[in-house]
Amino acid sequence: QVQLVESGGGLVQAGGSLRLSCVASGRSFGGNAMGWFRQAPGKEREFVASISWLGGTYYADSVKGRFTISRDNAKNTVYLQMNSLSPEDTAVYYCAAAGGGYLSWQASDYNYWGQGTQVTVSS
């Protein structure tokens, strides 16, 4: 059974940092693109970042320069380093695994999803 489990969320003050982790089990995702999405209360889920199977990255404009996505295929883990956090970043953050290896910002390209981890940024 494939599972994606996120961790690392929490409460942080504006300007602070958090590092999210997503561990995959049940199969290897070394050949798949991985992504992070988020959903704030009352809003639709939105794309945050994607990393291809070769390590190429793509970010939403709202997080570019502040967030960094990375992966460790040996550990079947993807990370999201979040710096300079603002209250607008408050959301549930979801890890996802795509069906293919190339970058994608479209949720429909992702076949597996984690349960989410809450990130709350106080002002």
- Rg (C-alpha) for the chain, rounded Å, is 13
Average pLDDT, the chain: 96
The alpha carbon of residue 37 and the mean position of all alpha carbons in its chain are separated, in whole angstroms, by 5
How is residue 89 annotated by DSSP?
A: G
Summarize pLDDT for 30-82 with one digit per residue, the tens.
899 999 999 999 999 999 999 999 999 999 999 999 999 999 999 999 999 99
pLDDT at 12: 98
70 beta partners:
79
pLDDT at 85: 98
Instruction: Kindly provide the b/e burial profile for residues 13-39, where b requires at least 16 CB atoms within 10 angstroms of the residue's own CB.
Output: eeeeebebbbbbeeeebeebbbbbbbe
pLDDT at 1: 84
Summarize pLDDT for 25-37 with one digit per residue, the tens.
988 898 999 999 9
